[in-house]
Amino acid sequence: MGADLTDISAVPRTVDWVEGRLRLIDQNALPDRLAMVDLTTWQAARNAIADMTVRGAPAIGCTAALGMALAAHGYSALQPAQFVQAVSAAAADIRSARPTAVNLMWAVDRIAAVVAASPTPAEGAARAEAAAVAMLAEDVAANVAMGRYGAELLPDEGSVLTHCNAGALATVGYGTALGVIRAAVAMGKAIHVYSDETRPRLQGMRLTTWELQRDGIPVTAITDSMAAVLMRQGRIACVVVGADRVAANGDAANKIGTYAAAVAAHHHGVPFYVAAPLSTVDMALPTGDGIPIEERDPAEVTCIAGVRLAPEGVPAWNPSFDVTPAALIAAIITGQGVVRPPFGPGLARLAGRAAAQGGAS
């Protein structure tokens, strides 16, 4: 392993701000092509979230923040009252792009508050941009901190299962669950990763394997249905996943199929870890029952890469996320430290600390 796995400068940031433009890695083109898209309007930023050009809770949040900056710049020639009205309308629309990842709402509200507190439209646009750009560095710092805390939980040697993609591609860089794995490898641990393919959109197969292969971290792709038997055979030391929203009691929403992996892990006595920044923790929701679950186009289930596999006209159900009950989670790894069950008091303490520091880690 030659690469310094804490150095993320060699790969483009998943979300970036370059000369007044929002630059994204086009995740719908991976793994075939590493392509960048540059966006100049808040509507384009919103669409990129909705069509999953950018995906993963922290990456969605940072894109939304920069989308708000684009809105503030775009409307900065308006009179103050119209400016505030136009930016608020943009905020409402960006917020509605996807319902489950709370980072989206958290980021929009954070930039909206900066705009509202600004004395003039021009100043509002400048401050919105500065605040949104600062969130990119904050995100990377939170991931690196999560990696440091979480790496301690991984074995010195062994296989880790992950589901979906909670890597550099799901964040600005480095990753949450994959950040933990990167940090463990950087510490000298001999980690091999099993990556669930993650039907229907195949984020594990397309994105997680791509990232880990680039880093030289050994990875084996499996279909989602193969994870339980690996656990039964004693071949999984632990499971590490990300989250889109964590309720105050520790119930965690993540990509559909995460719950099945958690049930299997519990049955086989395999520790199940969730790595998420505090911007993913929704202290307003007492339990995961209140987490809105996105339902996407049924064609994502009946088709793969545009090829229909089911007979024409067969209905399909396509919930994009599920909720893993806190009782199945051994620890939640945040940028402020590791929380163990019962999660309520620990999450409240760390969320309060992050709020006092003015950010989210």
Asked if 240 and 177 count as a contact pair (C-beta separation under 8 A), the reply is yes
The angle subtended at Cα 291 by Cα 285 and Cα 293, nearest 5°, is: 170
251: contact with ligand MRU by CB under 6 A: no
58: contact with ligand MRU by CB under 6 A: yes
- Find the binder of ligand MRU among 95, 182, 255, 266 (CB under 6 A): 255
| Window 309 to 328, contacts with ligand MRU (CB under 6 A) | 320
One-letter amino acid of 116: A
Nearest CB to ligand MRU, comparing residues 61 and 121? 61
170: contact with ligand MRU by CB under 6 A: yes
252: contact with ligand MRU by CB under 6 A: no
* Number of chain positions touching ligand MRU (CB under 6 A): 17
Nearest CB to ligand MRU, comparing residues 84 and 169? 169
- Find the binder of ligand MRU among 14, 53, 208, 254 (CB under 6 A): 254
DSSP reduced 3-state for 61: helix
One-letter amino acid of 84: V
- Find the binder of ligand MRU among 16, 17, 56, 173 (CB under 6 A): 56
Asked if 106 and 119 count as a contact pair (C-beta separation under 8 A), the reply is no
Q: Give the C-alpha separation, 261 to 241, whole Å.
A: 10
| Window 292 to 311, contacts with ligand MRU (CB under 6 A) | none
Shortest distance, position 164 Cβ to ligand MRU, whole Å: 4
243: contact with ligand MRU by CB under 6 A: yes
Site string for ligand MRU, 103-142 (x = CB under 6 A): ----------------------------------------
Q: What are phi and psi of 17, to 5 degrees?
A: -120, 110
**Sign, Cα dihedral of 174, 179, 181, 184:** positive
Which residue stretch of 71-79, 217-225, 240-248, 352-360 sits at the interface with ligand MRU (rule: CB under 6 A)? 240-248
61: contact with ligand MRU by CB under 6 A: no
- Find the binder of ligand MRU among 67, 124, 150, 242 (CB under 6 A): 242
Consecutive H or E run containing 135: helix 121-151
Shortest distance, position 291 Cβ to ligand MRU, whole Å: 12
Q: Give the C-alpha separation, 12 to 23, whole Å.
A: 10
Q: For helices 57-74 and 42-50, give the axis angle rounded to 10 degrees.
A: 160
Half-sphere exposure of 10 (CA within 13 A, CB side): 9
211: contact with ligand MRU by CB under 6 A: no
Q: Across-strand partners of 112?
A: none
Shortest distance, position 213 Cβ to ligand MRU, whole Å: 19
Q: Give the C-alpha separation, 256 to 149, whole Å.
A: 26
Q: Across-strand partners of 192?
A: 159
Q: Closest residue (Cβ) to ligand MRU?
A: 242
- Find the binder of ligand MRU among 244, 251, 282, 322 (CB under 6 A): 244
Shortest distance, position 165 Cβ to ligand MRU, whole Å: 6
203: contact with ligand MRU by CB under 6 A: yes
The span from the first CA to the last CA of the chain, in angstroms, equals 29
Show which residues are catalytic.
Answer: 244
Number of residues in the chain: 361
- Find the binder of ligand MRU among 86, 115, 161, 166 (CB under 6 A): 166
Nearest CB to ligand MRU, comparing residues 56 and 99? 56
The angle subtended at Cα 22 by Cα 17 and Cα 28, nearest 5°, is: 120
Taking CA atoms, 200 is separated from 52, 97, 179, 327, in Å, by: 13, 19, 24, 26
Which chain residues interact with ligand MRU by CB under 6 A? Answer: 55-58, 101, 164, 166, 170-171, 176, 203, 242-244, 254-255, 320
